[in-house]
Amino acid sequence: MLEPEIIKSWPVEGISRIETEALFGNVYVVGHESSKIRVEISVRSLGWPLIFTSRNTQTILKDFELHLEQKEDVLHIKSGLKGNMVNWLRFTGLRFKISLPKHKAIQTSLRLEAGNIRLDDCDGKFHVSTGAGVLRFERVNGDVEGRTAAGTVEISRCKGNISAQTSAGTIEVSDCEGTMSFSTSAGTIEMERLVGNVYATSAAGTVEAEDIDGVLKVHTSAGTIEVSGMNGSLGASTNIGTIEAEILALGDFLHLETQAGNIDVKMPFNKGADLSISGYTVRAPQIEHFEGIRERDRMEGAVFNGGIPVQIRAHAGNVKIGQGRLNAFSSLNKRIKENQFTLPQNLFQWNTKGFLLSLVICVTLTYGVNSIFYFSIELSNGNALSGIYIGIVLGNLVNSLMVLLMVAWFTKYFVPRIKRNWVKYMLLNALSLLGSFFAQIILILIYWRYADIPEDTEDSLNMAYLYLFIPCIVASIYFFFWQRSQQITRKISEQEYQLVSLEKLKTRAELDALQARINPHFLYNALNSIAGLVHEDANKAERMTLLLSKLFRFTIGVKDQHFNTLEHELDIVRTYLDIEQVRFGPRLTYLLQVEEGLSQVKIPVFLLQPIVENAIKHGISKISGEGRIEVHIARHDDRLVLRIHDNGPLFSENFFTGYGLQSIQDKLKLLYDHRASFDIQNNDFKQVIIELPC
């Protein structure tokens, strides 16, 4: 390990935040027992080792612009490469080691364009991001938010609020405690031995969880979900994958749902539960103390007179319920850990890097096509070198066939077993070189030994061994585009399924309009209130009947549309609250506040009413004093922010969003993908916050 070239330290008193920015390099943050913040900077080679360069490290440091200074309570650590193009081609970077006093919570921000970030045995609040590198967190206490665009995330033995996101890598988490949130677009998520509230989302990969104690909510669009040793509450949903779960002890809820896969779950039935299970077929053992309906495609009823809500739905698959431990998982996409290789985003764009990449591709194609024409013309002339040209053409055909078979064999048997992308290319090149060697030996035996070769060309043929490396280049290019085609195919399948899911959600909304939008309990209470008012206050009974009729008219009038104006949606909410005011009397007041100019903004149909209804059911109805509902809608930058507040009791610690709120989250994801957010604020000012692009 290289010795540090720069060492500086600052007293921790008076420093509350550290901001670090670097172009490329590694950052290592570690806790120590000193009362000072210590920064060590060393030179790091990104290409060839420094021992092969003629420049010493002090000279290399002059290529960088370094800023290490304290301004008020902020310590700034910044580095940038000077503008000379030669400096960029030397492939050197800096390594930062930042030592922080233990048990001193310091807010730390780390941002790299390319490089690895490691946090080890430290306390505080950390916000870290890198464009292309690995994130590794170990023994961190506090709040950690990490993001990498093209790397893996490894987390172990951490406590606190942990959030990690990667676009094209895997996430591995173990032995952590607290509130955790993980998200990846094209990789898997592996979790084991976690305690607390865990949220995991993967767009195109598998989610695996083992020995989770607390609350686990998982969603994947195009992968499977595998959970074993679950002790607590579980919510899992997937679009085109299967769900396999082993529940050791039920928590406050169990919710499993898949659109196009099977569900295999093993769970105990030793406490009260309300079962709602449906699928193409439902297979379950005889459950003691079960009362309800049991048919081929559903189970509805209660165990021990009811209790924990258990909802299991496979819309286009089978459901299997068992008791005891699962022996093994047999997922269709078991252990899909291939890191997909993507084309650079600036390819074919008119900048320096895009121009050079495009030029290499054009030169290669032009040279190859010209070679085909050249040898074809020379072979037709029948000159003295025709024998050599025929051999070259045969060699190219043999190498092409060998490369095709080699890549096909490699992708089938080796790719699923190798995790790192660079290892795949190294092994493929080694196999291609070996295959090319044997292919040329065969060609010598069947052609070159019999070919009529002019004597003056024999010396040139001694250099033919250089052509052994051509199949390596071709195999790498072919494998590169094979990986890219796999990712494009997966992405297209996911987009097509989202369109199908959106159409299914539309049909589901129409069929469930009376049940999900105006539920039977509300209708029952409203009709009872009308019946009681008929003899006491006929005018008020008439008004309530008209309001109820108006609310039904809203429900029927939203056919064949996904969006409605904000003004129309607030009219629905106002009508609903007016009806509830008749029921609660002076106990219920409400406020609908909208920023000027937003009345015609389009939002999803029936977005607000289910949330307000949930506030009445779980908030206002639980208190004896005055209840208040507030809806505030405003625009912040390019976002529409909707806030729904009630002064009822806070949600329970393990609160799980039921079908009403869950359907809203699903709708937002389908309509806006990741551009919309849904958040439940459970503090002194309890509220639901929705942000939409506008």
Strands 189-202 and 159-166: unpaired
pLDDT, residue 153, reads 94
Assign 511 a pLDDT band (cuts: 50, 70, 90): very low
CA-closest candidate to residue 210, choices 245, 178, 240, 166: 245
What is the average pLDDT across 100-129? 89
Backbone angles phi, psi at 440, to 5 degrees: -70, -35
Task: Identify the pLDDT of residue 147.
Answer: 92
- How far, in Å, CA of 668 to CA of 510, rounded? 17
Interatomic CA distance for residues 487 and 256, integer angstroms: 28
The reported pLDDT for the residue numbered 186 is: 78
pLDDT tens digits, one per residue of 445-481: 776 666 665 555 444 444 555 666 777 887 787 777 7
Query: In angstroms, rounded to a whole number, what is the distance separating the alpha carbons of residues 182 and 179?
Result: 10
DSSP symbols for 147-198: EESSS-EEEES-EEEEEEEESSS-EEEEEEEEEEEEEESSS-EEEEEEEEEE
Task: Examine the pLDDT at 264 and tell me if it is beyond 90.
Answer: yes
Give, to the nearest 10 degrees, the angle between helix 421-443 and helix 470-511.
130
Task: Express each pLDDT in 633-672 by its tens digit.
Answer: 999 988 999 999 998 888 765 454 554 576 677 778 777 8
Q: Which three-class secondary structure state does DSSP give residue 411? A: helix
Predicted pLDDT of residue 150: 78
Mean pLDDT taken over the chain: 78
Structural domain boundaries in the chain? 1-169, 172-337, 352-487, 512-693
pLDDT score, position 348:
46
pLDDT at position 17 over 80: yes
DSSP state letters, 102-151: TT--EEEEEEEEE--EEEEEEEEEEEEEESSS-EEEEEEEEEEEEEESSS
The alpha carbon of residue 25 and the mean position of all alpha carbons in its chain are separated, in whole angstroms, by: 25
C-alpha span between 686 and 614 (Å, rounded): 13
Rg (CA), the chain: 32
What residues contact residue 180 under an 8 Å CB cut-off, 6+ apart? Answer: 161, 162, 163, 173, 194, 196, 197, 198, 199
Between 326 and 580, the higher pLDDT residue: 580
**Residue 284 pLDDT greater than 60, yes or no:** yes
On whether the 512-693 domain is CATH 3.10.580.10, my answer is no
Q: What amino acid is encoded at 395 in this protein?
A: G
